[in-house]
């Protein structure tokens, strides 16, 4: 029997509501990629990421083989499940996979989180040959602020995914937000933009907030489908992870 799409969407919404209920009842100090893989489904694994305390989390032990630092920055209202496949896909013996848990809705105009990440990259990040950062949705806006000011000799490859880099009122006025204008010489920036009409977060907006002009950036519009699914807001991270893993 084929279930109606509306019924399936209702089940997903109920599951998300249940996960959010669980999130307010506990927090985790740590989680590992091994922990994520041992969960029965992606939603349970995502709960481990969403339950983390705010800050940088190393999702695997550090060792001498890891020459590259990989950092994921989630977006607003994240339930973590959208990061399970990308982080697992990009894991390798030469990568140290890390995850930044933060509170995007805190009204500090990103200042504290920007400063925290810059400090992390300028200190701990100096131990690696390269730094790769994926910022999704509001995490991409935060990443854009970091890239404007970070000062490091280590090459950075940044991927901003399905992010409202143009900003959204009234936040722009309150925070005096301006999108990035250019990138530094040791930074490669890739913007991955969803198709607006397929992105449930941007669909109702009168403009596409992903479209900005950043000198030196390479912008790519994502396709309509990914693995037989509509390529919307959350699937975009998995598509980009697959693309990165081919390089």
Give me the pLDDT at residue 115, please.
96
Which of 128, 147, 123 lies closest to 73 in space, CA to CA? Answer: 147
CATH pick for 54-245 out of 2.40.50.140, 3.40.50.1820, 3.40.50.2300, 1.10.3720.10: 3.40.50.1820
Let me know: does 50 contact 112? Beta carbons within 8 Å: no
Distance CA 3, CA 141 (A): 37
| 87-111 tens-digit pLDDT | 999 999 999 999 999 998 765 789 9
User: In this structure, what DSSP letter does residue 30 have?
Assistant: -
Give me the pLDDT at residue 28, please.
59
Let me know: does 147 contact 156? Beta carbons within 8 Å: yes
| 55-68 tens-digit pLDDT | 999 999 999 999 99
In degrees and rounded to multiples of 5, residue 75 shows phi and psi of -100, -170
Quote the mean pLDDT of the chain: 89
Band (pLDDT 50/70/90 cuts) for residue 141 is very high
Give me the pLDDT at residue 49, please.
97
Give me the pLDDT at residue 106, please.
60
pLDDT surpassing 50 at residue 244: yes
pTM score: 0.88
Q: Which residues contact 6 (CB under 8 A, 6 or more apart)?
A: none
Number of Cβ within 10 Å of residue 171's Cβ equals 16
Mean pLDDT over residues 229-246, rounded?
Answer: 97
DSSP of 148-212, one letter per residue?
HH---SS-EEEEEES--TT--TTHHHHHT-----B--TTEEEEEEE--GGG-TTTTTSSS-TT--
| 158-195 tens-digit pLDDT | 999 999 999 887 778 888 889 999 999 899 999 999 99
pLDDT surpassing 90 at residue 20: no
Give the 3-state secondary structure percentages of the chain, helix then strand then coil, rounded to 5.
35, 20, 45
User: Domain locations in the chain?
Assistant: 54-245
pLDDT surpassing 90 at residue 233: yes
| 143-167 tens-digit pLDDT | 999 999 999 999 999 999 999 999 8
Give me the pLDDT at residue 237, please.
98
């Amino acid at each position: 029997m084929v279930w109606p799409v509306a019924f399936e969407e209702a089940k997903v919404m109920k599951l998300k509501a249940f996960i959010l209920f669980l999130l307010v009842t506990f927090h985790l100090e740590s989680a590992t990629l091994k922990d994520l893989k041992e969960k029965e489904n992606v939603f349970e694994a995502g709960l481990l990421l969403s339950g983390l305390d705010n800050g940088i989390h190393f999702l695997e032990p550090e060792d001498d083989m890891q020459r590259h630092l990989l950092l994921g920055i989630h977006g607003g209202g994240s339930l973590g499940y959208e990061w399970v496949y990308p982080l697992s896909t990009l894991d390798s013996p030469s990568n140290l996979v890390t995850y930044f848990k933060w509170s995007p809705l805190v009204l500090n105009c990103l200042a504290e989180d920007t400063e925290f990440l810059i400090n992390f990259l300028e200190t701990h990040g100096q131990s690696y040959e390269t730094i790769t950062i994926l910022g999704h949705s509001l995490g991409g806006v935060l990443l854009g602020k970091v890239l404007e000011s970070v000062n490091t000799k280590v090459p950075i490859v940044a991927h901003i995914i399905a992010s409202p880099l143009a900003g959204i009122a009234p936040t722009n006025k309150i925070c005096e937000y301006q999108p990035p204008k250019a990138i530094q010489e040791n930074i490669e920036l890739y913007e991955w933009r969803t198709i607006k009409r397929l992105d449930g977060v941007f669909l109702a907006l009168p403009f596409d907030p992903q479209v900005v002009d950043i000198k030196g950036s390479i912008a790519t519009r994502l396709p309509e489908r990914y693995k037989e699914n509509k390529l919307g807001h959350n699937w975009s991270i998995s598509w980009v992870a697959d693309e990165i893993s081919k390089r």
